[in-house]
Amino acid sequence: MKRFILSRNSRGFSLVESLLALFINSLVLILLGHVFSSLQLIQTTLHSDKNIEWHLFLNQVENDINTKTLTKKREHELTFLEKKSTDVISYEWRNSEVVRTKNSSGYVPMISKLKSVRYDDKSSNQLVGVRINFINGQILEGTIKVEPHNE
C-alpha cells in the first residue's frame, strides 16, 4: 500500500491566493470605470467654463466700448477711440490670449488659451463678428455692436 504524503506544492497557487488576485483585479476594473466617468465630467465642466469665459469676454467688450468708436479693424485686432478723450483702446490677440491695452500700454488679458482669433465685418458697418478657436478645439462665435468712427 502506497502512502500519499501531503506536501506543500510551491509551484501552483492556493485558493486564497487566487481569490486575492481576483479581488484585486475586480477592484482595479471598478476604479478604472469611475476614473473614466470622472474624466468625462471634468471635460464637460471645462467646456462649460470656456462658455462662461466667452460670455464674460463679450459682455466686458460690449460694456467697455459703449463710449468708444471703432477706428481700425484688422483680422486679429480691434482699435477704438474714446469719444471724450484721445485715449486709444485696442483688443488684440497676443500669445494665445486676447489682451486689452490703453494707449499702447498696459496688459489686461480678456480671454486666454486661444489657438486663433478673427474679427470679421458683418452685414452692416456697426457689427463686428468675433470667432475664437480655443486650444482644446472648441470654436465660439459672437457679434459685437460697435459705432464706426466718422472722420
The confidence score (pLDDT) of residue 22 equals 93
Alpha-carbon 8 to chain mean position = 61
Residues 6+ apart with CB under 8 A from 93: 76, 77, 99, 114, 116, 117
Q: Distances in Å between the alpha carbon of 151 and those of 54, 69, 71, 121, 145? A: 32, 11, 9, 19, 19
Cα torsion 14, 15, 21, 24: sign = negative
Query: Which residue has cell 488576485?
Result: 21
d(CA 141, CA 79): 19
Whether the pTM exceeds 0.75: the reply is no
Residue 3 amino acid letter:
R
d(CA 59, CA 63): 6
Q: Which three cell numbers stand for residue 2?
A: 502506497
Res. 30 pLDDT band, cuts 50 70 90: very high
Burial of 14 (0-12, 13-18, 19+ CB in 10 A): exposed
Tell me the per-residue pLDDT of 85-129, one tens digit each, with 9 for 90 and over: 888 888 898 888 999 999 988 888 888 888 999 888 776 667 888
Q: Over 70: is that where the pLDDT of 8 sits?
A: no
150 vs 70: which has the higher pLDDT: 70
DSSP H stretches of helix in the chain: 15-64
The confidence score (pLDDT) of residue 21 equals 92
Res. 26 pLDDT band, cuts 50 70 90: very high
